[in-house]
Amino acid sequence: MNRRIKICAAAMSICMLMGAASCNKKSEKDEEIVAPEGYTLVWNDEFDGDELSLQDWNREVHSAGWVNHELQAYRATEENSYVEDGNLVIKPIKVVDDSGRVSYTSGRVNTAGRHEIKYGYIEARIKFPEGQGFLPAFWMMPKNENYGHWPICGEIDIVEILGQDPDTVYGTIHYGSPHGQNQGMYTIPEGDFTSEYHVFALEWEPGLLRWYVDGVPYYETSDWFCKTDGGTERDYPAPFNQEFHVIFNVAVGGDWPGSPDETTIFDERACMYVDYIRYFQRDSYDENVQKPEKVYDLRDADETGNYVLNGDAGEAEDLTDDAAWRFMLFNEGTGGASIGGGEITVETQNAGTVDYSIQLVQAGLPLENGASYRYTFDAYADEARTMIADISGPDVNYVRYLEDQTIDLTTDWQTYSFDFTMNEETDDNGRIEFNMGDQDSTATIHITNVRLEKIS
């Protein structure tokens, strides 16, 4: 019988009950698991044995570049996935051959054909790897592609994290054709997710998905659809009404995290440590649910007709929140931004590896199907250079409502103007983007008078 840990009925984590110090070590275990209120334990793995149970888990094998331009090859070896000191360990390894060529291997394990679940409360206690280029994940895929190939079949990401951004995690679903994506994010107030253990959970009911960190709910969604390649929509709550299995893996490189660099260390800090995984279910579920009617928050423009908040940069802001403007760094980009006094100034130290490595955005912009808009802004750079401007839909897999526009900046203020028609479905969370990374320049950029107006 496995040694086990007691959980309170409200599904609070051991970290919250015992304090932050307990998050930095393997959990203390007693003889009983107490399920969240209304749930029953249906399967768990505490990883207390000497090796990974192949009655519960499959090791996957895939070549480098299999998806998302990732660099690792997944291997079914005990070097890359194993049980040690009460943890499942997923270990990426850097390999340098005699010619100096660098490659990477890693581990990916799943419960396909062993343990699947349809609805329930699924949680795992994990410590994630730290370092540029790591993308570890605890996620779920369907037992069968009943509704079509990915993403129509559905995908549930219980938690993902970028190794170079250790204080923020993401919970996401993918679905539909065209590809839809709903995503929530959580930034921890203190500490991070790479030096301490934390509990990540998904509560999955018919028509509802809710994400937790350490017992605290941070995101939920009921808004998705399931269309086949031919365009026929399946009854809600498809595709999230079928059995799914769990996957643990650590990807290296790829489109989202970018490649490892000289700061990335491949030792125990590169490993993902999973203390336990547990499935709980209710006695029954009512699947007779209706898709909630979409209610749009189509806020009014200001008295000048502008939908952009603080478009004239007249007010100082904290550029780390979503109140209006937000400045973000990705994929090796380094720099800073300031706002106030009539302009937004963006300074770049390292342009990063993708165009959005240096990024200034504002979300929450209402865009109505069939309406026409005019998007304008003034900008210049300390030296002639380019940047990319667009308007996207972050809730719809970042579809472009205004396609990427390459802006040729000079050292003098210039006004740039673009007209477009909103041909997609109405979206109350449109997002303007200024992407300033990976464009052969680190010259400082100045922006003001950003306007989005409805013209018809």
Closest listed residue to residue 257, CA positions, set 165, 195, 321: 165
Closest listed residue to residue 448, CA positions, set 387, 380, 390, 382: 380
3-state per-residue secondary structure call for 247-288 = EEEEEECCCCCCCCCCCCCCCHHHCEEEEEEEEEECCCCCCC
Closest listed residue to residue 426, CA positions, set 375, 370, 372: 370
Question: Alpha-carbon distance 48 to 275, whole Å?
Answer: 9
Whether 286 and 328 have beta carbons less than 8 Å apart is answered as no
The β-bridge relationship of strands 102-106 and 72-74 is parallel
First to last CA, the chain: 69
406 by Cβ neighbours in 10 Å (0-12 / 13-18 / 19+) ranks as exposed
* β-bridge mates for residue 142, sequence order: 244
Residues involved in catalysis? 155, 160
The residue with tokens 């802004």 is 377
Closest listed residue to residue 164, CA positions, set 304, 333, 306, 36: 333
Q: Tell me the CB-side half-sphere exposure of residue 293, using CA atoms within 13 A.
A: 1
Tokens of 253: 């490189």
Whether 400 and 392 have beta carbons less than 8 Å apart is answered as yes
Question: Alpha-carbon distance 222 to 439, whole Å?
Answer: 39
Question: Alpha-carbon distance 155 to 359, whole Å?
Answer: 27
Question: Alpha-carbon distance 175 to 227, whole Å?
Answer: 8
Omega of the bond leading into 237 within 30 degrees of 0 (cis): yes
Q: Which 8-state DSSP code applies to residue 17?
A: H
Question: Alpha-carbon distance 315 to 312, whole Å?
Answer: 8
Question: Alpha-carbon distance 394 to 427, whole Å?
Answer: 10
3-class DSSP state for residue 113?
Answer: coil
